[in-house]
Chains A and B, each alone.
Chain A
Amino acid sequence: MHAVRNIRLCTKDCLCLYVCPTGATDTESGQIDATKCISGCRACVDACPSHAIFLIPDEYPLQQKKTNDVEKALLTLSESKTRQEQLALTIIKTSDDPIVRQLAQALSMSNRLLAEDVLREAGYMLPQSQNVKDFLQSLLDTPQPEDFPIEIVEKLLNIL
């Protein structure tokens, strides 16, 4: 567990500078130096008056198992939501009425969020989970168009 700073909450009280035993909080990047941070120390977390620092786990829990029919029910919804998003995006592209495009934009954003939420609950909550790795690997194992960014997928599989 090492400390990170939510820069939106940080009010530059700088108490973390005084209490950190290693100087990990003393950086110009706005973030805490993970290589100097002592795992589980939390001195800065407790000192911060703005609650801007917290610990994040080095290892996350395993992805919760989803039953086949739960996954299926959620994927039925993700299919519907993404098709609605695609319709809205098509309206944005083809309409020359600014108000129509504005409404379609709102609908596309909303449907994207709805689709994201059900997919996340369908077994893709954690980016470092096996499900996500299997998904990425499947992209490499199946034929892709010429312009497919293989290097991005390989990089992700490498660092996740």
Chain B
Amino acid sequence: MKKYICPICSFTYDEAVGIEEENIKRETKWEDIPSEWVCPLCATNRVDFLEEKSDIKLNEQVSFSKEDEANTLRVLSIEEMSALCSNLSKGCEKQYRDEEANLFKQLSEYFKNKGDFTKDATFSDLSNFLQKDLDTNYKNAKNVITKSNDRGALRALVWGEKVTRILSSVINRYDKKKNELLENTNIYVCEICGFVYIGEKAPKICPVCKVPNMKIAQVKRR
């Protein structure tokens, strides 16, 4: 019995187990699954799945030049300050410091309203950023952070890269199907890691960070 992994979201098809929810019986061979079948979590095509033993090469070595390393750290942008403050607000909440949590939240909102809304924005602009993240930014970061042995940062990269692949796949699907992609179904976001899911019901646990679905929020249409 073999296993096949979705290259986008890591969903694993195990021949020994099948998929009960989709009436794929136990011990159903990969070859016997119809070619139009797609990943139940992220709708990746069956042909793109990889057999489990195959090495997925992700750690290409790309390094910063010396010149880059010599630069001092830049000041955070307004948008980053907003994200920093909203995360510090969450941090305070977890320490039961409600007053501080509320102040950071207000600060985060202030910065959010100051963001630049003047530039043209399309989903394909987002796609370009996603591609650059996947082609360069995550590789660079992985290279640097693996060397420094920073477990927390490495964890953020592993989840972040998976979610980034999923976002890229969502935009590609939207590009092909347009509004039909969402018309008769729902869309969800994991409030812990940012995983995005399109489907009737949210998965029981987030496939990326494994949080139960009480933390997976439905995004309503307004």
Chain A positions within 8 Å of B, measured between CB atoms, are: 4, 31, 56, 60, 64, 66-91, 93-94, 97-107, 109-122, 124-127, 132, 135, 138, 145, 148-149, 152-153, 155-156, 159-160
Select the stretch in B14-22, B40-48, B142-150 that faces chain A: B142-150
Contacting residue for A67 out of B126, B148, B160, CB 8 A: B148
Enumerate 20 A-B pairs (CB-CB under 8 Å) in ascending A order. Answer: A70-B148, A72-B144, A73-B140, A74-B156, A75-B74, A76-B137, A77-B138, A87-B122, A88-B126, A90-B121, A97-B179, A101-B222, A102-B187, A116-B83, A117-B194, A118-B156, A124-B87, A148-B110, A149-B107, A152-B106
Q: Which residues of A contact B80 (CB under 8 A)?
A: 75, 78-79, 82, 115, 119
- The verdict on A112 contacting B141 (CB below 8 Å), with A103-B182, A159-B99 known, is no
Chain B positions within 8 Å of A, measured between CB atoms, are: 64, 68-69, 71, 73-77, 79-80, 82-84, 86-88, 90-92, 95-97, 99-100, 103-104, 106-107, 110, 114-117, 119-123, 125-126, 129-130, 132-133, 137-138, 140-141, 144-145, 148, 150, 152-153, 155-156, 159-160, 163-164, 167, 170-171, 174, 179, 181-183, 187-196, 217, 219-222
**Are B106 and A77 in contact, with the CB atoms below 8 A?**
no
Residue of B nearest to A78 (CB): B80
Residue of B nearest to A85 (CB): B79
Q: Which residues of B contact A110 (CB under 8 A)?
A: 163, 167, 189, 194-196
Closest chain B CB from A7 CB (angstroms): 10
Q: Which residues of A contact B148 (CB under 8 A)?
A: 67, 69-70
**Are A90 and B138 in contact, with the CB atoms below 8 A?**
no
**Within the assembled complex, what's the spacing in Å between the Cα atoms of A83 and B73?**
18
In the A-B complex, list the 6 residue pairs whose CB atoms are closest, starting with the nearest.
A113-B194, A82-B79, A116-B87, A110-B194, A90-B121, A73-B141
**Are A114 and B194 in contact, with the CB atoms below 8 A?**
yes
Q: Which residues of B contact A78 (CB under 8 A)?
A: 76, 80, 83
Residue of A nearest to B155 (CB): A121
